Structure 1
Amino acid sequence: MADKKRALPKRKERPEEVKDDGQKPEENGEVPSDSAAGAAAVENSENGTLQFEPMELPPFEVITGDRIDPFVFKFQFKNVEYSSGRNKTLLCYLVDTGGSGDGLLRGYLEDEHTGTHAEEEFFIHCLPNIDPNVQYTITWYVSSSPCQACSLKLAEVLKARKNVKLSIFSARLFEWEAEEVQAGLKALHSAGCKLRVMKPLDFSYTWDTFVETEEQPLNLWEDCKDNYEYYHEKLDQILH
């Protein structure tokens, strides 16, 4: 099958470049540009004119929760060719501990790539204590696949904790053309992680399971299946 000519999907772009769905940055959960959000207007004492001075922004915190806003999901999880403005990683998780009595853990978390990435934060916020006597089966549905650093860290976790099984379903592949990213995915795969690209049915399942749907069904975008097949082919080439 001949390769399609497509632009490299990027995980982080400037929010002001968002053109998807005609939404403004502040409507899709993105941070406005520095000129609007990162500066404060002050009056010049000499001539009375207004000038902008830098304003210190609060420290970033990873967001965790039970249900995702439907617009945020539709924007961040869309498996498009161009990922402009999608500078977050949303990670939906299911953790099955078998017969341990803890039941099935479910939730989501998100980052903005200004600190620790969501993949690593999962083991800090959601599963900080791993009992060596419990078998953990973890499933993630993420808006984009892990970067090289996260892939290598996850590979080390799986190697060190044989009682942890991880499956990752990704809406998009993050910078899949970069050799170092491919090497990270291969290392993660070799460590026992099941890596998959999200099918149309996976988007519907994630919508029903993790989003504040108000009982509204997910209307998949027109090229969802085509984009899945494209990313599926690329991931298969990387891993094999």
Structure 2
Amino acid sequence: MPFFLKTLLPEKDFEENFNNTFQPHKTLVLFSLKKDKSSLWKTWGYAYNNPNNEHAEHLILDNIEIYIQENQIKGRHTLTLFMSYTPCRKCSARIKSFLTSRNDLCMDIKASRPYFFEYKSEQKGLYLLKSLGVSIKMMDQFDYEQCLHEFVHPSKKLTPWLGLEEQSKKNADDLENIWKQFLSQEEEKETEENAKIIKISNHDNMIGPQNISVCTEQLGAQDVSRPHIILDGQDHHDQSPTKDDTWLSTPETPQKRKSTDRATEPVPGAKRKLDFLEK
């Protein structure tokens, strides 16, 4: 069984799995669960991945779930993971399902090296965790010292290996580039969505046939004492500056015409235009 509860990690295993200048063919995850504002761990331990079966993260989360249920853990708690590799996309999805139903539990991940940062699927998995509020950091010398002190032996001191800081800096830069890339994509997506909203809003505010009819009714109900426009020598009170023979509106009703007002009779000039069009 590659799961060890409340057991110190052998120093040799620490050196083999957390030296960030090497790439071991297995994953080691150390964990601790503690209540916020408390220095005492509720439970702790570590796990290796079970080849062709379960990942180390799955083994730990399965056991944490059992522990929470059996001990009726309540209140805000922090689950800290020291990992030899960052979570893969499958483990990221598993962590998401684990945290989704536990708003009072936060997670702090510190990883020694990246797990295939060059693949988009792995990048998306990490960004998914970040969007959930998971703290993800590439380990530096201070983190290695803390891990050694807490999970190997409190009297052990870290002897930095050659290239530790340089590789830590590179890993941190690579992770930061992933955040920037996805942030840029999110901003572009937000800009596109805003543009769509504006376009739809403008489309909804355009004057449609039903609005044109309303506008025509409103214009017809206005006072006829508007500026006169002379067409073919006739005085037409019902002709507005913006209204011509191309205005597509519903016919005016008889009630809106005054039989005694010669200016509102059919316009000869307008008829001549229609005759011209018929030719």
TM-score range, shorter chain: 0.5 to 0.7
Decide whether aligned partners of structure 1 residues 128 and 239 sit closer, same or farther in structure 2, where only a CA change above 3 A counts.
farther
- Tell me what 1:134 maps to: 75
Please report the RMSD computed on the Cα atoms of aligned residues, expressed in angstroms.
Answer: 2.3
- Tell me what 1:210 maps to: 151
Asked whether the equivalents of residues 30 and 81 of structure 2 are also in contact (C-alpha less than 8 Å), the reply is: yes
- The structure with the largest helix share of the pair is 2
Structure 2: distance between partners of 1:105 and 1:195:
21
Structure 2: distance between partners of 1:134 and 1:216:
33
Tell me the alpha carbon deviations over residues 114-173 of structure 1, each in whole angstroms, 9 at most, x when there is no partner: 311111111222442434732221111111100110011112222221111001000000
Larger of the two Rg values belongs to structure: 2
- Tell me what 2:56 maps to: 118
Query: When the two structures are superposed, what TM-score results if normalisation uses the length of structure 2?
Result: 0.58
Asked whether the equivalents of residues 3 and 59 of structure 2 are also in contact (C-alpha less than 8 Å), the reply is: no
- Over 6 Å off, 4+ runs: none
Structure 1: distance between partners of 2:41 and 2:11:
26
- Tell me what 1:182 maps to: 123
Opposite residue 172 of structure 2, the aligned amino acid is H
Q: Using the TM superposition, name which of 167-176 and 131-140 deviates more.
A: 131-140
Tell me the alpha carbon deviations over residues 71-92 of structure 1, each in whole angstroms, 9 at most, x when there is no partner: 1110111112x51xx1221111
Give the 3-state SS of the residue equivalent to 1:128 in structure 2.
Answer: helix
Give the 3-state SS of the residue equivalent to 2:160 in structure 1.
Answer: coil
Give the 3-state SS of the residue equivalent to 1:151 in structure 2.
Answer: helix
Asked whether the equivalents of residues 185 and 239 of structure 1 are also in contact (C-alpha less than 8 Å), the reply is: no
Q: CA deviation at 1:111?
A: 1.9
Q: Using the TM superposition, name which of 176-185 and 109-118 deviates more.
A: 109-118
1:222 to 155, 159, 162: 162
Give the 3-state SS of the residue equivalent to 2:66 in structure 1.
Answer: coil
Decide whether aligned partners of structure 1 residues 99 and 178 sit closer, same or farther in structure 2, where only a CA change above 3 A counts.
closer
Decide whether aligned partners of structure 1 residues 183 and 106 sit closer, same or farther in structure 2, where only a CA change above 3 A counts.
same
Structure 1 runs not aligned, ≥5 long: 1-60
- The structure with the largest strand share of the pair is 1
- Tell me what 2:19 maps to: 78
Asked whether the equivalents of residues 151 and 188 of structure 1 are also in contact (C-alpha less than 8 Å), the reply is: yes
Structure 2: distance between partners of 1:79 and 1:125:
27
Structure 2: distance between partners of 1:103 and 1:220:
27
Report which structure shows greater RCO (CA 8 Å, sep ≥6).
1
Structure 1: distance between partners of 2:132 and 2:97:
8
Q: State the number of aligned residues.
A: 176
Asked whether the equivalents of residues 32 and 41 of structure 2 are also in contact (C-alpha less than 8 Å), the reply is: no
Give the 3-state SS of the residue equivalent to 1:157 in structure 2.
Answer: helix
Give the 3-state SS of the residue equivalent to 1:156 in structure 2.
Answer: helix
Q: CA deviation at 1:176?
A: 0.8
2:96 to 149, 152, 155: 155
- Tell me what 2:3 maps to: 63
- Tell me what 2:141 maps to: 200
